[in-house]
């Protein structure tokens, strides 16, 4: 009887985890397949800005940034951690990092998990926390 009482919460937790995973899977942002044009605006530490327009068949932002050599980074626990953009390196000792936004809104995924669609406009801004 005691084992059944311990098993019930574990079963409920496992079912809840599976349901949440399923919900995430079906509602996650989808990448657009095929050719598309995107704009990536880079805002440097001195507040100067440059726009780069790319024609690509890639599905995720990180792929474009690396293939076009606009950005460099390290693969970490949460995916690509951008360290250099357009030749400017974020200085860890100054608490700098590259912030990725889309249309001025923070993206909820790392660059290599951020899907792209035709006409998207992304911003990479050197920020300090």
Rounded CA separation 73/64 (Å): 13
pLDDT tens digits for range 29-48: 566 678 999 999 999 999 99
> What does CATH list as the number for 36-128?
2.170.130.30
For residue 101, pLDDT over 60 is answered with yes
Predicted confidence at residue 99, as pLDDT, reads 96
Rounded CA separation 107/99 (Å): 9
Residue 30, token pair as written in the block = 């989808």
pLDDT tens digits for range 8-24: 777 777 777 777 766 65
pTM of the model: 0.75
Residue 39, token pair as written in the block = 């704009």
pLDDT band at 52 (very low <50, low <70, confident <90, very high): very high
């Amino acid at each position: 009887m005691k084992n059944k009482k311990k098993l019930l919460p574990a079963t409920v937790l496992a079912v809840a985890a599976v349901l949440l995973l399923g919900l995430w899977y079906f509602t996650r942002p989808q990448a657009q397949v095929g050719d598309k044009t995107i704009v990536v605006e880079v805002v440097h530490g001195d507040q100067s800005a440059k726009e780069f327009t790319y024609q690509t068949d890639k599905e995720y932002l990180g792929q474009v940034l690396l293939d076009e050599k606009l950005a460099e980074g390290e693969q970490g626990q949460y995916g690509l951690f951008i360290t250099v953009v357009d030749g400017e390196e974020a200085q860890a000792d100054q608490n700098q990092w590259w912030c990725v936004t889309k249309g001025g809104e923070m993206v909820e995924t790392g660059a290599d998990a951020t899907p792209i669609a035709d006409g998207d406009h992304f911003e990479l801004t050197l920020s300090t926390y």
